[in-house]
Amino acid sequence: MHAAWTRLAVQTLEAEAHRSADTHLIRLDLPAFPGIPLYLKDESVHPTGSLKHRLARSLFLYAICNGWLEEGRPVIEASSGSTAISEAYFARLLNLPFFAVMPRSTSRDKVAQIEFFGGHCHFIDDTDVYGAAQRLASELGGHYMDQFTYAERATDWRGNNNIAESIFRQMQREPDPSPRWIVVPAGTGGTSATIGRYIRYRATQADRTQLAVVDPEHSVFYDYYYSRDPNLQLSRGSRIEGIGRPRVEPSFIPGVIDRMLRIPDAASIAALRLLETLLGRCCGGSTGTNLVGALQLMSEMNSQGERGPVVTLICDGGERYKGSYYDTTWLAREGLQQPDVLSRLESVVRDGRWID
């Protein structure tokens, strides 16, 4: 009986993957950066609206094939954002109960999206979502998915239509098919691990490609990259949801990263306004962080006379952040309404030179 359910579950997830067409790769040619086209991999078009759709599918397949999930067993995750939304979607697809452990302060919009896909929200009053998720899994006899541990190993980094393989396949017919830089946020570390490993695995195809990871304020990854101190911790969380972490997560693999950039939160938010003028789209905060990092690298290439594509991600859409990044009251309270920062970024796009 268990083997039959496993086969059906895997078939169901594989069928969902085939229904989900590949995400778009959008090209932006900025006149101030001749020979340095910017490509944005639009992960917001997944059925659950974010890059985490790929991760959630991989986590479920990994758990099923490891024998950790079986028919009717609850799934528990420590997440208040896009991962929980995507995992709730896949749990519903497999008819499994899903519980997202999150701080009580989580926005009602996020809660509503998790509940829309049939998930249950388990609120806590402190910050130990990890411990609370483990305890809830024990109480319910469920499986703690633990994205922060398994993100780097659940995805097949050698290929199988992962995000890295998809980027290089979509670049094949471009005038210059080999990205000079791929820019991604840290988050769980799963995306950077997948792309960084793939670049090394396909060294002939990616002969000059390097991986840059951007990290926001109030996150330990940038410092950990240089110090390699696994005990680093912060007392508060990042304002750029989904990427900054207050502790070093097991899935973050610094050895596959060629460069890390720390991006001020005000610049990430300003970049969202800039992206609206470039794309006519509202995006989430991590996409703003990506754009700032990409522009910094493009400016360096420009000044050195270097040419080649730069690829980054649209991680999710801006509709999830109406109460934060697109709310003037929230921005004012956080001190993130800084028109001069937007002006500097607009100058970078106009003149092709980085301004600190």
pLDDT digits (tens, 9 = 90+) for 178-211: 999 999 998 889 999 999 999 999 877 667 899 9
- In whole angstroms, give the CA distance from residue 108 to residue 102: 12
Question: For residues 214 and 185, is the Cβ–Cβ distance under 8 A?
Answer: yes
Structure confidence at residue 160 (pLDDT): 76
Confidence band of 106 (pLDDT split at 50, 70, 90)? confident
Beta carbons of 24 and 290 less than 8 angstroms apart: no
Statement: residue 20 has pLDDT above 90: no
pLDDT of residue 207: 78
Determine the pLDDT at residue 353: 95
Does position 222 have pLDDT exceeding 70, yes or no? yes
**Percentage of the chain exceeding pLDDT 70:** 99
Residues 296-317: tens digit of each pLDDT: 999 999 999 999 999 999 999 9
Inform me whether the pLDDT recorded for 1 exceeds 60: no
Alpha helix (H) ranges present in the chain?
2-19, 52-65, 82-93, 108-116, 129-140, 147-154, 163-171, 190-201, 221-227, 265-279, 285-303, 328-334, 339-351
Rounded CA separation 79/87 (Å): 10
DSSP one-letter string for 287-350: HHHHHHHHHHHHHHHHHTT----EEEEE-BBGGGGTTTTT-HHHHHHHT---HHHHHHHHHHHH
pLDDT on residue 35: 97
**pLDDT score for 118:** 96
Pairing of strands 38-42, 24-28: antiparallel
C-alpha span between 346 and 45 (Å, rounded): 27
* pLDDT tens digits, 261-280: 999 999 999 999 999 999 99
pLDDT in the model for residue 202: 87
Query: What distance in Å separates the CA atoms of residue 321 and residue 241, rounded to the nearest whole number?
Result: 9
Which residue ranges form the domains of the chain, and what is each CATH number? 15-51+161-351 (3.40.50.1100), 53-151 (3.40.50.1100)
Listed in sequence order, the residues at least 6 apart from 203 whose beta carbon sits closer than 8 Å to its beta carbon are: none
Token pair of 73 as six digits: 């067993």
Residue with tokens 């195809």: 205
Are the C-beta atoms of residues 33 and 41 closer than 8 Å to each other? Answer: no
Tens digits of per-residue pLDDT, 45-98?
Answer: 999 999 999 999 999 999 999 999 999 999 999 987 889 999 999 999 999 999
Q: Mean pLDDT over all residues of the chain?
A: 93
- pLDDT score, position 136: 96
- pTM of structure: 0.94
Residue with more model confidence, 80 or 333: 333
Residues 237-258 pLDDT 10s: 889 988 888 999 999 999 999 9
Q: What is the pLDDT of residue 105?
A: 76
Give residues with Cβ within 8 angstroms of 48, minimum separation 6: 56, 82, 85, 86, 89, 117
